[in-house]
Structure 1
Amino acid sequence: MATTNIWQQFRALLPDDVRIVATITGNNGNGTSQAKLRNGSVITVMGESVSVGEKVFIQSGEVKGAAPNLAQYDVEV
């Protein structure tokens, strides 16, 4: 049954997991890689399809693919 709650309809359009851009700092050789986030922390993610030094999209702890190497800016609001 379809809901008539407009908030629930809106939430259904949003993805469940966020997509993160990170830089690969190392491939571990066991199907995982080390990735450095923008805030400087390093995480371990599943996947070794991208080489060291390249940017990747990470979703649900898994490398989803290569990300473009674009300039980034921090803006305070």
Structure 2
Amino acid sequence: MMDASTPQWARKASGLRRVLVVLLPVLAGALAVGVFTGGRDTGIFDGDPPTWASVLGGILVLAGLGLETAVIGSASRS
């Protein structure tokens, strides 16, 4: 348990550990699904994607850029 006497780097490390515990299984699952479906022609890539998928892709790209900017800013301050 962390209290006021816990160093700031330990609190940041704990937060990073929590993020990794959530993020790594999600990424591993996404990779597994991609590997299992990547070898087959599912037909979903024939033609243009639906509009909702294009919009969602743009949103995810912007969210990723924002996250990268925040991480780089946080890393440069520490």
| Larger radius of gyration between Structure 1 and Structure 2 | 2
TM-score by length of 1: 0.24
TM-score, length-normalised on structure 2?
0.24
Structure having greater relative contact order (Cα 8 Å, sep ≥ 6): 1
Which structure carries more helix by proportion?
2
